[in-house]
Chain A
Amino acid sequence: MNLKKIMLAAAIAGSMSATQAMAADDTIKVGVLHSLSGTMAISETTLKDTMLMLIDEQNKKGGLLGKKLEAVVVDPASNWPLFAEKARELIEKKDVDAVFGCWTSVSRKSVLPVFEELDSLLFYPVQYEGEESSKNVFYTGAAPNQQAIPAVDYLMDQGVKRWVLAGTDYVYPRTTNKILEAYLKAKGVAASDIMINYTPFGHSDWQSIVSDIKKFGSKGQKTAVVSTINGDANVPFYKELGNQGISADEIPVVAFSVGEEELSGIDTKPLVGHLAAWNYFMSVESDVNDEFIDAWHAFIKDEDRVTNDPMEAHYIGFNMWVEAVEKAGTTDPSVVGDALIGVSVPNLTGGYSAMMPNHHITKPVLIGEIQDDGQFETVWKTSGLVAGDAWSDYLQGSKDLISDWRAPLSCGNYNVKTSKCSGQNY
């Protein structure tokens, strides 16, 4: 029975090494919950490999608390309800001590009740729309104030007066654009200078939208596009921009979902100069980043593979978990969850990131321009670290909320005006 189980796990993981498939009891198990098939496999497979690499490296360093780490990989197949099932399987059946996973917000929302019910830990590595803080989730990606707001500030600084907010029609772009619209209006931008446009998932015919953007941008004032267009739809969007001859110095596009990995699927020559806001770029110059890239290339056995921001988020999240476990001396999720707050580990940009009481982390914000080799060149950087804000200061109903999971408050959405914790309603 036991042998069967191990063989099954090994078969799913595929690339597991022999050491990881050791007998189950003297290992610490780490769950990896990323889609390996279906639409999201394009982004999430890389994160699965990143986790396997990090776990492998930790084992080479001697494991954790004297035990080896063991990755338990499951495939939720880009199917949101299946995420919840697989999460339950990881925690209840496979007995994992922490889970690293999810990409889309809807998959996170789907697994959230499972983690709260079974009191386990989830590390979520992707930038998201905020407006959430759960006791059991640690958000290592960027909140809107760590990505969207600084990007808009940078563009304002560059003299942009008219704004196109273009996004895919789902929760992350809608919420982010709502925050950005409120922010822009607070900064004195007229409603007629903001154009908002939503497109369906996987939209591939961008001709009329790009033509509209061109017209909107030809009114004599500097115009920029803030893009929350998701995933695959970006490629035809950028291709159409290039085709219609819109160059970055006329109408720059700043994207929050386009990283090195997405760019590796396109010819970037027509895109040079378009922007992206992240907390990490592969081109960042630091020794720890060079080491990480070398380790990644060695692990994946392909020199051409790129690294990206969500990978860095997993790097930070995993090291935080390791440090918290060592600090707590146990892998018990409820103890580790408390120990995680205040833990500070190196990030890949050469500084340190710390876990805040609201379960978000501190990060630098970088603005990069796309280069013709598919990399980003940092053109602007926040002077210090920015702490992730779970509840946006620019939205009604959310600006009075704070999150602090330390005792005695222990609340994810504490209203400072009414001095009440509204309980958990993500």
Chain B
Amino acid sequence: MIARVLWSFLLLACALTTHAATLEQGLEQLKSKDFSHIEQGIATIAASGDDNAELILNLLLNGEIYRHKKSNELVTIQGKEDKQLIIVNLFDDSGDSAQTVSKRKIKKVRINNKLRASLKSAIASLKLNSNDPVLRLEAVNQLIGKLNPVLYQTLLERQQTESDDRVKSLIDVALAVTDLNSQDSDKASQINAIELLSESLQPAARNALQQFVDETDNASLKFKANKGLRSIDERRKWAGHAETLFFGLSLGSVLVLAAIGLAITFGVMGVINMAHGELIMLGAYTTYVVQLLMPNNIALSILVSIPAAFLVSAIAGIMIERGVIRFLYGRPLETLLATFGISLILQQAVRSVFSPLNRSVATPEFMSGVIEINPVLSLTLNRLYIIAFCLIVFALLFMLLRYTRLGIEVRAVAQNRAMARAMGVRSEWVDAMTFGLGSGIAGVAGVALSQLTNVGPNLGQAYIIDSFMVVVFGGVGNLWGTLVAGLSLGVANKIMEPWAGAVLAKILVLVFIILFIQKRPRGLFPQKGRSAEG
């Protein structure tokens, strides 16, 4: 009896030590400089069944595990203390092992892309047992097309117990991908797999079918698989069209945002403002500065920077108008040269103040990510927000010009300056306000652009030509024209890009506009009535 108790106790102890040892062994292997050792370490940790395994693998994936060069202990960084780092040993919740070291005393446990892929698979296989169906779905998605025999077995078991329909059907697809091209599948399961895969838009499903068609010599199955491929391609084509339209609209909305301020200064006032791009740039830099002031609240900082950028650019615009442009009304060539000079001054000023290097503007959490409609069509969130933002700005501006006193005065001065003055409108004041409004809108566009492209001194130059193009194409002095022109140029550009290439697509759009202007010199929506002559 005693012997038996002892024996089982011994067994238990043995099991415990081997268990602990596997995780320990895995961690030990992570200390190596050799990627193949680290890969073994990952496999050991994943197979250890330890509760901490997933945590450790995630830390490793995020590059948060370091090796202390002297003591050869694995540590993580807990915090920073003026240039020094506070590190603690792994699994030290109490913080007893905390010590302060300089950056050069520790070395990150390196991983490369191959390890990153195997880490993701390992984490996914651990996540399969998670309680959250979203996590399980993610895990299966990660594993599709990468199944080894062990994982196949795991998924097969999971399939029996899975309660969530979406996860279950994705598991079916994942298994079918393997079944279809497996040596030991019978015909019935292959037919089943073909039918399943023909319904799926997963890229792995299409690849499996294609591989099957290339390799099989069974004519009837090949016919079935080909039919499946065709139906997949048909649906992918529609997704492709929808994607192109989305890309075009989002490019168009950027064009509209950049051009709409110009539609006011150039379209309504007739001022050729070459510094318009730099007013956009000022808006983008305002976003950067606001973000510096509130580094812990990126989402809020973007919202704050919209009015801030409007004010900064509007004030800059009013200064330009009062200081330079008002002396040059009616002399377009001189205005063009003077504002071009201002644009250079603004660029160099930004270079001197902020350095010539690009500044980094962070994207708030709510703007990053995608909405996945299906596996081949997903819409990026930041672009969706910018399309919406563009429409809001347009609507506000339109209402402002239509329904407010300032709007009526602006239109009055634009249509007939002498008559407006006779009616008691302070035309000088209206000029300054109009120019300020157009410039402010440019600043708001800068906030949007800071989320898409570089915030640097050259930001504005990239958009000035496009902006003029949109305004002229849409018809000078017409806000609707700007909206329609911007969106349609964006879509046209994106439709042409796949077959003409980005360089040629841009050239073709320019050629088209030149021809169009020859035919209709006043743009898409020309001004009508007497004011059209002015």
Query: Which residues from 372 to 397 on chain B have a C-beta closer than 8 Å to any C-beta of chain A?
Result: 378, 380-383
Which size class do A's interface residues fall under?
35 or more
Q: CA of A200 to CA of B112 in the docked complex: distance in angstroms?
A: 32
Which residues from 250 to 297 on chain A have a C-beta closer than 8 Å to any C-beta of chain B?
250, 252, 261, 264-267, 270, 272-273, 275, 285, 290
The answer to whether B250 and A207 have CB atoms under 8 Å apart is yes
- Smallest Cβ distance from B145 to chain A, in angstroms? 7
Question: Is B254 within 8 A of A235, CB to CB?
Answer: no
- Interface flag for B424 (CB, 8 Å): no
CA distance A252 to B506 in the complex (A): 28
Stretch at the interface among B126-134, B303-311, B453-461: B453-461
Q: Is B72 close to A, CB under 8 A? A: no
Decide: A41 and B356 in contact? CB cutoff 8 A. yes
Closest chain B residue to A205 by CB distance?
Answer: B251
Q: In the complex where A198-B503, A243-B370, A244-B370 touch, is A207 in contact with B456 (Cβ < 8 A)?
A: no
Tell me, yes or no, whether A116 is within 8 Å of chain B by CB: no
Is residue A242 within 8 Å, beta carbon to beta carbon, of the partner chain? yes
**Do the beta carbons of B458 and A202 come within 8 Å of each other?**
yes
Query: B243 contacts A211, CB within 8 Å?
Result: yes
Cβ A379 vs Cβ B370 within 8 A: no
Chain A residue, CB-CB nearest to B119: A249
B322 at the interface (CB under 8 A from A): no
Within A233-253, which residues are at the interface with B (CB < 8 Å)? 235-236, 239-240, 242-245, 247-250, 252
* Chain A residues positioned under 8 Å from B455 (CB to CB): 265
Which of B107, B383, B454, B497 is within 8 Å of A265, CB to CB? B454
In Å, the complex CA distance between A244 and B503 comes to 22
Chain B min CB distance to A110 (Å): 21
Distance, CA A265 to CA B356, complexed state (A): 11
Structural contact, A243 and B357, CB atoms closer than 8 A:
no
Asked whether B519 is an interface residue with its Cβ less than 8 Å from the other chain, the reply is: no
CB-defined contacts of B494 to chain A, threshold 8 Å? 207-208
Contact in complex: B363, A267 (CB < 8 Å):
yes
CB distance from B144 to the nearest CB of A (A): 11
Instruction: Tell me if A265 and B243 are in contact (CB < 8 A).
Output: no
Shortest beta-carbon distance, A411 to chain B, in Å? 37
Chain A neighbourhood of B97, CB < 8 A: none
Q: In this assembly, does A209 line the interface, its C-beta being within 8 Å of a C-beta of chain B?
A: yes
Contacts of B67 in A (CB 8 A): none
CB distance from A168 to the nearest CB of B (A): 10
Whether B231 sits at the interface, judged by CB under 8 Å, is no
A248 to B117, CA, bound (A): 9
Proximity string of chain A (200-222) to chain B, C-beta cutoff 8 Å, 1 when within and 0 when not: 10111101110110000011100
Tell me if A338 is interfacial: C-beta within 8 Å of chain B: no
Determine the chain A residues whose CB is within 8 A of the CB of B503 once the complex forms.
169, 198-200
B112 touches A379 (CB 8 A): yes
* A88 CB to nearest chain B CB (Å): 25
Return the contact of B356 from the options A45, A272, A275 (Cβ within 8 A).
A45
Contact present for B116 and A248 (CB under 8 Å): yes
Contacting pair A204 B452 (CB below 8 A): yes
B530 at interface (Cβ–Cβ under 8 A)?
Answer: no
Q: Which residues of B contact A252 (CB under 8 A)?
A: 113
Closest to B298 in A: A267
Residue of B with least CB distance to A154: B112
A303 to B203 CA separation, bound complex (whole angstroms): 46
Q: Which residue of B lies closest to A250 (CB)?
A: B117
> A334 on the interface (CB 8 Å rule)?
no
Tell me, yes or no, whether A377 is within 8 Å of chain B by CB.
yes
* Contact in complex: B458, A245 (CB < 8 Å): no
Enumerate chain A residues within 8 angstroms of B358, measured Cβ to Cβ.
42, 232, 235, 265-266
Structural contact, A235 and B502, CB atoms closer than 8 A: no
Bound form: Cα–Cα A267–B494 in Å: 27
Chain A min CB distance to B68 (Å): 15
Identify 7 new A-B residue pairs, CB closer than 8 A, beyond the known A265-B454, A379-B35: A208-B247, A211-B247, A220-B203, A236-B454, A267-B360, A290-B104, A372-B63
Name 14 A/B residue pairs within 8 A (Cβ), A-sorted: A37-B348, A202-B461, A207-B250, A207-B251, A208-B244, A235-B453, A244-B370, A244-B378, A265-B455, A266-B358, A266-B360, A273-B112, A377-B110, A379-B112
